[in-house]
Structure 1
Amino acid sequence: MQILREHLFKYPTYILGAVISAVASIGTMLYQPKLLQDILNAILKNNMDAIKTLSVWLIFLAVIGVISGIYNVYFAAKIAQNVTSDLRLRTYQKIQSFSFGNIEHFSSGSLVVRLINDMNQITNLLMSVFMQFLRMPLMFIGAFIMGVYTLPRLWWLEILMIILVILVSIFTFQKMGRLFGQVQIFMDKINTRAKETLQGMRVVKSFNQEANNSANFNQTSDELNKINLWIGYIFSASFPAFMLATYAAIALAIYLVGGSITSHPSDVAAISSYVTYLSLVMNAIIVIGMTATMVSRGLVSLERIKEVLDTKPDLTYVTDQDEDLKGSVEFKHVSFTYPDSKQETLHDISFKVAPGQKIGIVGKTGSGKSTLAQLIARLYDPSSGEIDLGGKNIKEVSQKTVTKTVSFVLQRAILFSGTINENLRQGKKTASQAEIEKAAQIAQAEEFISKYPDTFEHEVEERSANFSGGQKQRLSLARGVVGNPVVLILDDSTSALDAKSEKLVQEGLAKHLKGTTTFIIAEKLVSVKDADQILVLDDGHLSACGTHAELLKTSPVYQEIYQTQKAKERRSDLS
């Protein structure tokens, strides 16, 4: 609850309004039965003046009760929506600070559920607290006292009914609290399955897996359905039990009053008020129990949000100072192991790159090429060793400096909904239109952009479905170079391009980014054969380093890759 208190203190006026309106609403509700009793007594005495006066007061109280109830809902909604909005923004910002490792720990599907479903539960929690939890305890205490005041000799009947209803409530809502926790877990699973299926729909259809995926989804959905049905069963059984206890108490009260009406004639007017107070006591207990269940469900969601907020990002920055760094990169005995993995992905890597050099990174699948590149961009920190960027330990450089210095273009091109211009400006927020057009030319993207009537204002659909793989890669590459980065990492980012387009891209990079240190991760040696240095990785080790000609003479691993690809490429391309 500490998390909520931090945000609640921002809205003291709304909280005060909710408290005052709740007290006013319950006060009018508790006094109305007493007025009805006085009216009945006045009717028995045929006192018309008293009847008129009390009737006016009854109407006045009803109006006050309605107005205060409306204001209570208004203030509760204001508090719930504002606090949830603040908490959602805070959680989203925290997620933005997470590293790849943090995201993988939670999974993207779970984080989406926490931002949407769990936040809705927290909204319900706050609404319940500032409506029911404020009003029901007052109603319970007030109705109990007024019931004893109305028929003092039947005080024990109220206590008996309270004990019965509380016992049923405890049994019911304890079970429901545990079930609500399971509901959130299965909501995570369903969201993850649905997200994976929709994002991989082409794969699903290609391998005719619709039936299998439907069966898996249906299994998870059935589990969630069973839990929800159990919640429904408990609800359906609990209400008759509550009503039975209440009506039994009311019947017993009427029987006892009826048996002693001759000795207590004033009980004729009191019995209706007493029955009303019994009902209010019962309703207060039931609503408190139900609200407790909603609160317990909200607390489960709050704990899940707290888990996100309390998670420390794997990557921390010791300074906010913005610096201009040169393009030198040095690895000093760097090793790296992924979180939750026992096997090293990189082991004791050391090399040095001068500013403006073109570096190729090659190796077999799973040799650690992409991992090495991610360490340069500080998407992860090494498990041991040191990485220097521009002559400084990368851990001592601000996040702004790293992102300004290093641009990372992934093999899997990810574009966002919006326009082409908006996507390219993610590489440099203040980029001019001339800079964007130049970046598109370097990436050979202007070729297809110019064919659209709206050119750079052309819409990018969800998951960039209106672009081919090659077009997405070229747009992603343009986004990477628009900021004229000091260090550019291309993680097999031209794999979807044909040989001619790839050659034009490399020529464009060489011509327009002469001072940029470029790392090229490639499966094809033809993409890196002109590099100043080529790093050869083998099972996480740096097995060799040198030029294409040197490695052909000295590196068995490089020779094996060369011999494998020579049959597929023209000999002149690899010579």
Structure 2
Amino acid sequence: MKFLIKHIGKYKTASILSPVFKLLEACFELTVPLIVAKVIDLGIKQGDMAYVRSRVLILVLFAVVGFASAITAQYFAAYAATGISSGIRKSLHDKLQTLSVSDYEKVGNSGMVTLLTSDVNQIQTGINLFLRLLLRSPFIVIGACIMAAVVKPSMALIFVCCTALLATVIGLNMKSSISRHKESREGLDALVKKTSNGIAGQRVIRGFNKTSGDYEKFESKSKALNASQIKAADFAAWLNPLTYAVVNLAICLLIYRGAVHFNIGDLSDGQVVALYNYMSQILVELVKLANLIVSVSRAYACLKRAEGLYGIKSTATQGSGALSGNSVSVSVKNASFTYPGNNEESVKDFSVDIKPGETIGIIGSTGCGKSTAAALIAGIYQPQKGEVLLDGININDIAASSLASSVGMSLQKTRLFKGSLKENIALGRKELSDEDISNACRLSCSDDVVSSKKEGLDYEISDGGAGLSGGQRQRIGIARALAGRPGLIILDDSTSALDWGTEKRLLNNIGSIETKPTVILISQKVRTCMNCDRIILMDDGRIEAIAPHEELLRISENYRYMNSLQMKGGAS
């Protein structure tokens, strides 16, 4: 609840005024049955029409004031609920931006989407109902019992027993509902994940004629979600019938006992009507309260999930150190890393010293740990053992802003967003000038992509970069990495879709940069790395050898074999 209270802030006044106005409305409702009883006993039975008219005017006034109070309460409740939920959504979004990639992967895309949309909406609904009804309904139930005792103390026992029984039922329901609703939200996460994976991989699924298999997996997740939702709803479904049954039985008992007391002259007509009205009020409010408990249980389960995300301690770098920005040196000492959920280390005892301005290649077979090593150097992952130093500073002690501006990384699969080419390259970095972006396009050989569009850098691309080839997307990704003039450039197999001529021109352009940044090239192709100052040959997560191309050919049988295969395949 601390997470929720934290976001009340400027909505504290609205959160107080909403239940206050609801309680004011409830006070008028509790007074009405007494006035009606007086109208019957003193006005209608005695033929005093002036008394009846005066009391009717009072009832009309109560109705107008009560209606105004209800509208005001609804306004404040909606205002507070919307504002608080917006604050929660913003806090969750801001929290996601601080998470490291490891933390991000633990939560998962589906969990984040569900949290920021459906879960926050459930919290908003729960807050709205809480402010409007959680005080009003118990107030009217308890108030009706008190007012019944005022009318006829001996009849109040029926009200008390009815209320106590239903309070027990509602309490048991709430205890059971929270855990069941949490399970249903997790089922929704699984369905969202399956749906997003299916949409993202639709070309592959159709290409291999696996549409029916994908449908079966979706149907399985959908049925699992349906089962968990039914399980969450089945117990709650008994609330309304039980409430109606208990209260209607209480009404029957009330009417029976009222008739007995009326026949012996112990109760008047108006008092019987007042007691019935109070029991009817209890019925209506308990039904509302039962439905409220269901909604609040869902909201509480969603709030606990939000608190769980917000409570994650980020493993991202949060230091204050700064890099020079020019020709960053790299020193990795006995770094080892294991992905969450894996038993085997992806990188083992990785150690290397890279001088400022040096160009290093990392090569090896698929799954040997090349990309993981690059991610450790870039600070995307933190090693479980060993350390990574940039310019002699432990990467965990470097400020995130300095790390982002000094390290430019381009991946094999470039993620493009809906917007212009310029926006995709700048990626929100306001400090970049048009000259920086144009220069990055020239260096990355993506200037021909820009010139081929009549809008130039203002050309709008769709989400994912549909309409652009794989090579064009990779070059735009490289331009994004180069635009900030970083002191360390990491190209993680980001030239795999380029033809040899374009790749050679790109590497020459990077080599001609005046500031001489440190460059790390990761590839499975010997030709990409052969002109590097040194090449790191990796195998099964370990460094097998470090040497220039010609020396590796002499000392490493694996490298010779790799080179000969690619030579025969015409790759060099």
TM class by shorter chain equals: over 0.9
Alignment deviations for residues 208-238 of structure 1 (CA, whole Å, 9 cap, x no partner): 1111111111122123223444555555544
Offset of 1:262 from its aligned partner? Answer: 4.1
Separation in 2, partners of 1:236, 1:112: 28
Aligned to 2:16: 16
Offset of 1:177 from its aligned partner? Answer: 3.7
Secondary structure of the residue that 2:350 maps to in structure 1?
A: strand
Secondary structure of the residue that 1:45 maps to in structure 2?
A: coil
Residues 239, 290 of structure 2: 8 Å contact kept: no
Aligned to 2:251: 250
Matches within 5 A, 1:516-535: 516-535=517-536
How has the CA–CA distance of structure 1 residues 69 and 427 changed in structure 2, closer, same or farther, with 3 Å as cutoff?
closer
Separation in 2, partners of 1:325, 1:392: 15
How has the CA–CA distance of structure 1 residues 308 and 14 changed in structure 2, closer, same or farther, with 3 Å as cutoff?
same
Residues 331, 388 of structure 2: 8 Å contact kept: yes
Offset of 1:427 from its aligned partner? Answer: 7.5
RMSD: 2.0
User: Quick check: 1:209 aligned with 2:210?
Assistant: yes
Aligned to 2:334: 333
Matches within 5 A, 1:340-359: 340-359=341-360
Separation in 2, partners of 1:18, 1:406: 52
Separation in 1, partners of 2:263, 2:112: 69
Secondary structure of the residue that 1:520 maps to in structure 2?
A: strand
Offset of 1:50 from its aligned partner? Answer: 1.5
Aligned to 2:48: 47
Matches within 5 A, 1:21-32: 21-32=21-32
Matches within 5 A, 1:134-533: 134-170=135-171, 172-230=173-231, 233-234=234-235, 236-264=237-265, 267-319=268-320, 324=325, 326-426=327-427, 428-512=429-513, 515-533=516-534
Alignment deviations for residues 41-74 of structure 1 (CA, whole Å, 9 cap, x no partner): 2111222222121111101111111111111111
Secondary structure of the residue that 2:315 maps to in structure 1?
A: coil
Q: Which amino acid aligns with 1:374?
A: A
How has the CA–CA distance of structure 1 residues 233 and 514 changed in structure 2, closer, same or farther, with 3 Å as cutoff?
closer
Separation in 1, partners of 2:71, 2:375: 56
Separation in 1, partners of 2:185, 2:505: 51
Offset of 1:338 from its aligned partner? Answer: 2.4
Offset of 1:378 from its aligned partner? Answer: 0.5
Flag structure 1 segments of 5+ consecutive residues without an equivalent: none
Separation in 1, partners of 2:193, 2:477: 26
Q: Which amino acid aligns with 1:520?
A: L
Residues 368, 537 of structure 1: 8 Å contact kept: yes
Offset of 1:2 from its aligned partner? Answer: 0.8
Separation in 2, partners of 1:303, 1:77: 22
Alignment deviations for residues 283-325 of structure 1 (CA, whole Å, 9 cap, x no partner): 3333333322322221111111111111111223232667546
Secondary structure of the residue that 1:305 maps to in structure 2?
A: helix
Sequence identity percentage: 28
How has the CA–CA distance of structure 1 residues 137 and 166 changed in structure 2, closer, same or farther, with 3 Å as cutoff?
closer
How has the CA–CA distance of structure 1 residues 507 and 417 changed in structure 2, closer, same or farther, with 3 Å as cutoff?
same
Aligned to 1:72: 73
Flag structure 2 segments of 5+ consecutive residues without an equivalent: none
Alignment deviations for residues 485-512 of structure 1 (CA, whole Å, 9 cap, x no partner): 1100000101111112112211221223
Query: TM-score scaled by structure 1?
Result: 0.95
How has the CA–CA distance of structure 1 residues 26 and 299 changed in structure 2, closer, same or farther, with 3 Å as cutoff?
same
How has the CA–CA distance of structure 1 residues 176 and 351 changed in structure 2, closer, same or farther, with 3 Å as cutoff?
closer
Residues 538, 557 of structure 1: 8 Å contact kept: no
Offset of 1:171 from its aligned partner? Answer: 5.2
Secondary structure of the residue that 2:512 maps to in structure 1?
A: helix
Residues 408, 489 of structure 2: 8 Å contact kept: yes
Separation in 2, partners of 1:9, 1:485: 41
Separation in 2, partners of 1:114, 1:81: 16
Residues 320, 400 of structure 1: 8 Å contact kept: no
Aligned to 2:123: 122
Secondary structure of the residue that 1:512 maps to in structure 2?
A: coil
How has the CA–CA distance of structure 1 residues 48 and 368 changed in structure 2, closer, same or farther, with 3 Å as cutoff?
same
Alignment deviations for residues 495-536 of structure 1 (CA, whole Å, 9 cap, x no partner): 111112112211221223551111000111101111011111
Separation in 2, partners of 1:391, 1:491: 23
Secondary structure of the residue that 1:388 maps to in structure 2?
A: strand
Which range moved further: 310-319 or 519-528? 310-319
Alignment deviations for residues 359-378 of structure 1 (CA, whole Å, 9 cap, x no partner): 11101111111111111111
Offset of 1:265 from its aligned partner? Answer: 6.9
Residues 323, 403 of structure 2: 8 Å contact kept: no
Offset of 1:192 from its aligned partner? Answer: 0.5
Alignment deviations for residues 90-131 of structure 1 (CA, whole Å, 9 cap, x no partner): 111111111111111111111111111111111122112211
How has the CA–CA distance of structure 1 residues 166 and 134 changed in structure 2, closer, same or farther, with 3 Å as cutoff?
closer
How has the CA–CA distance of structure 1 residues 507 and 5 changed in structure 2, closer, same or farther, with 3 Å as cutoff?
same
Residues 246, 282 of structure 1: 8 Å contact kept: yes
Q: Which amino acid aligns with 2:363?
A: V
Residues 329, 390 of structure 2: 8 Å contact kept: yes
Residues 173, 289 of structure 1: 8 Å contact kept: no
Secondary structure of the residue that 1:518 maps to in structure 2?
A: strand
Which range moved further: 262-271 or 289-298? 262-271
Secondary structure of the residue that 2:454 maps to in structure 1?
A: coil
Residues 331, 350 of structure 1: 8 Å contact kept: yes
How has the CA–CA distance of structure 1 residues 321 and 53 changed in structure 2, closer, same or farther, with 3 Å as cutoff?
farther
Residues 165, 282 of structure 1: 8 Å contact kept: no
Aligned to 2:37: 37
Alignment deviations for residues 427-452 of structure 1 (CA, whole Å, 9 cap, x no partner): 84322222212211221212122122
Aligned to 2:565: 564
Offset of 1:266 from its aligned partner? Answer: 5.2
Secondary structure of the residue that 2:464 maps to in structure 1?
A: helix
Q: Which amino acid aligns with 1:206?
A: G
Residues 363, 538 of structure 2: 8 Å contact kept: yes
Residues 326, 516 of structure 2: 8 Å contact kept: no
Offset of 1:194 from its aligned partner? Answer: 0.4
Residues 99, 315 of structure 1: 8 Å contact kept: yes
How has the CA–CA distance of structure 1 residues 334 and 242 changed in structure 2, closer, same or farther, with 3 Å as cutoff?
closer
Separation in 2, partners of 1:16, 1:331: 57
Residues 326, 515 of structure 2: 8 Å contact kept: no
Offset of 1:174 from its aligned partner? Answer: 4.5
Residues 331, 388 of structure 1: 8 Å contact kept: yes
Secondary structure of the residue that 2:135 maps to in structure 1?
A: helix
Q: Which amino acid aligns with 2:32?
A: Q
How has the CA–CA distance of structure 1 residues 320 and 178 changed in structure 2, closer, same or farther, with 3 Å as cutoff?
same
Residues 328, 353 of structure 1: 8 Å contact kept: yes
Separation in 1, partners of 2:81, 2:318: 34
Separation in 1, partners of 2:392, 2:556: 29
Q: Which amino acid aligns with 2:55?
A: L
Secondary structure of the residue that 1:434 maps to in structure 2?
A: helix
Q: Which amino acid aligns with 2:258?
A: V
How has the CA–CA distance of structure 1 residues 514 and 32 changed in structure 2, closer, same or farther, with 3 Å as cutoff?
same
Alignment deviations for residues 172-229 of structure 1 (CA, whole Å, 9 cap, x no partner): 5544444322211111111001010001111111111111111111122123223444
Separation in 2, partners of 1:490, 1:513: 19
Which range moved further: 430-439 or 133-142? 430-439
Alignment deviations for residues 400-439 of structure 1 (CA, whole Å, 9 cap, x no partner): 1111111110011111111111111128432222221221
Offset of 1:480 from its aligned partner? Answer: 0.8
